[in-house]
């Protein structure tokens, strides 16, 4: 199956070291990117799907590094259906679970939590809501887990741990041991950084984050309450892990993280999430809003801020999406400057704090949505020609 997208205005690459690529045309075969560049130099014959971008910007589909899914496209947390479909309309094509913690009656015994993790991994592997890739099956560690439990889960397909600290394990020594067992079997880990999120959860301070040594510093800007500034700065200085900034956190702490990471030349470690569904609800445009917020208030060129939302996350999370690169998944968002938004072009309008208008999303080379029902309307829209 051959996808040809022509008349692209600009290509954002997802690569923070080289964020804008030359070219007006991109080709994908069987759901993988094969080439891009000037249309006249490419073999555009024989397309099964032909999209005329009409001059809009193409970027790798956005990634939400921190969600709390439960089952299918339903969240019991706010009794909401189709929140993932709505998120697709915000340009997000990949979601990563930080724990299926809103499952009513979530099992906390070891056998039960393992069973749920494996089941959750399976039900999102077998069913992609609106085509969106949901990486789920992220167990929350509890006391009593042993090394063989992590091996069993890994053998069964579990690749993620939910946020350390949301279960009974709240001391760094036990958490570190379990995170190391997880890592040994190829399971990636994250941690709840900051104050309690809802009644029943607890404080995780910088010392605990450092002692535990997860692969991702989950919501470094709090979810909701942020750590004191000196602890956030310490985490930025000390961690080689991904520094995850979320929509449902403290925005001032988000900017502190961004500015500290920039001073330390660590912008490649910055990744974005929403932390929804949660008490703040779901945020279909949450990732776009973070890109615009960090770009405008943090003085980051918009093409760099988009990398926080696709390429950086893909690299930190070892996913085959999020970058314009041969062989990567053909997952894209096509967008343009919103109607009547200030700025000379899409990037300038985002850097002025405005959301772009999404005109199309594509996953695995297949068009999944056309004009977004959620973003402001774009000036120009891509069109399926054939
Ligand atoms: Zn959390």
Both 70 and 214 in one domain: the answer is yes
239 C-alpha vs ligand 1 centroid, how far in Å?
18
Per residue in 295-352, pLDDT tens?
Answer: 999 999 999 999 999 999 999 999 999 999 999 999 999 999 999 999 999 999 999 9
The reply to whether 79 and 155 lie within a common domain is yes
174 and 230 in a common domain: yes
Q: How many domains does the chain have?
A: 2
Calculate how far, in angstroms, residue 145's C-alpha sits from the geometric centre of ligand 1: 21
Residue 301 in domain: no
- Among 284, 307, 331, which residue terminates a domain? 284
Q: Is 273 exposed, middle or buried (0-12, 13-18, 19+ CB in 10 A)?
A: buried
Shared-domain flag, residues 146 and 203: yes
**Ligand 1 midpoint to CA 193 (Å):** 7
Residue 360, domain CATH: 2.30.40.10
Residues 48 and 27 occupy one common structural domain: yes
Q: What percent of the chain is predicted at pLDDT more than 90?
A: 97
Query: DSSP readout, 290-341?
Result: HHHHHHHHTT--HHHHHHHHTHHHHHHHT-S-SS--TTSB--EEEEEPBTT-
Query: Are residues 176 and 66 part of one domain?
Result: yes
Alpha-carbon distance of 261 to 204, in angstroms, equals 21
Q: What span, in angstroms and rounded, lies between the C-alpha atoms of 224 and 243?
A: 16
User: 147 and 91, same structural domain?
Assistant: yes
Instruction: Tell me the pLDDT tens digit for each residue of 21-44.
Output: 999 999 999 999 999 999 999 999
- Ligand 1 centroid distance, CA of 352 (Å): 30
* Average pLDDT, integer, range 244-270: 98
The pLDDT of residue 197: 83
Confidence at 137, pLDDT banded by 50, 70, 90: very high
pLDDT exceeds 90 at position 198: no
pLDDT score of 201: 77
pLDDT tens-digit map of 77-95: 999 999 999 999 999 999 9
The answer to whether residue 33 is domain-embedded is yes
Q: Tell me the percentage of the chain whose pLDDT exceeds 70.
A: 100
pLDDT at 155: 98
Instruction: Decide: 374 and 89 in contact? Cβ < 8 Å.
Output: yes
Let me know if residue 194 belongs to a domain.
Answer: yes
Question: Are 72 and 172 members of one domain?
Answer: yes
Predicted confidence (pLDDT) per residue in 264-280, tens digit: 999 999 999 999 999 99
pLDDT value of position 199: 80
Q: In this structure, what DSSP letter does residue 40 have?
A: G
Q: What is the CA radius of gyration of the chain?
A: 20
- Per-position b or e across 254-267, b if 16+ CB within 10 A of its CB: bbbbbebbbeeebb
Same domain, yes or no: 153 and 178: yes
State whether 89 and 17 are in the same domain: no
The residue segments making up the domain with residue 260 are 62-284
Q: Are residues 93 and 117 in the same domain?
A: yes
């Amino acid at each position: 199956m051959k996808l040809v997208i022509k008349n692209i205005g600009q290509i954002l690459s997802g690569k923070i070291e080289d964020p804008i690529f030359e070219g007006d045309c991109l080709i994908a075969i069987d759901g993988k990117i094969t080439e891009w560049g000037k249309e006249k130099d490419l073999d555009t014959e024989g397309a099964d799907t032909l999209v005329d971008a009409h001059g809009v910007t193409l970027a790798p589909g956005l990634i939400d590094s921190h969600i709390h899914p439960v089952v299918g496209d339903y969240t019991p947390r706010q009794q909401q259906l189709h929140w993932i479909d709505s998120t697709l309309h915000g340009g997000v094509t990949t979601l990563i679970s930080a724990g299926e913690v809103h499952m009513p009656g979530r099992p906390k015994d070891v056998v039960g939590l393992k069973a749920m993790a494996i089941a959750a991994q399976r039900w999102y592997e077998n069913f992609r809501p609106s085509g969106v890739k949901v990486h789920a099956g992220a167990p929350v560690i509890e006391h009593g887990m042993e090394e063989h439990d992590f091996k069993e889960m890994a053998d069964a397909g579990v690749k993620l741990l939910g946020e350390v600290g949301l279960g009974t394990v709240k001391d760094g020594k036990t958490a570190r041991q379990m995170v190391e067992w997880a890592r040994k079997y190829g399971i990636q880990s994250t941690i709840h950084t900051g104050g309690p999120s809802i009644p029943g959860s607890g404080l995780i301070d910088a010392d605990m984050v450092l002692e535990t040594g997860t692969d991702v510093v989950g919501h470094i800007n709090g979810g909701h309450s942020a750590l004191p500034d000196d602890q956030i700065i310490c985490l930025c200085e000390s961690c080689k892990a991904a520094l995850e900034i979320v929509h449902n956190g403290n925005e001032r702490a988000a900017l502190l993280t961004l500015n500290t990471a920039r001073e330390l030349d660590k912008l490649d470690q910055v990744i974005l999430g929403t932390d929804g569904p949660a008490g703040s609800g779901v945020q279909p445009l949450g990732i776009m809003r973070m890109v615009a917020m960090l770009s405008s208030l943090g003085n980051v060129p918009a093409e760099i801020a988009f990398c926080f939302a696709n390429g950086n996350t893909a690299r930190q999370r070892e996913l085959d999406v999020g970058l314009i690169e041969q062989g990567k998944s053909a997952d894209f968002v096509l967008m343009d400057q919103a109607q009547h938004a200030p700025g000379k072009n899409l990037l300038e309008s985002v850097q002025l704090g405005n959301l772009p208008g999404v005109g199309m999303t594509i996953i695995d080379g297949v068009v999944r949505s056309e004009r977004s029902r959620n973003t402001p309307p774009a000036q120009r829209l891509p069109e399926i020609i054939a």
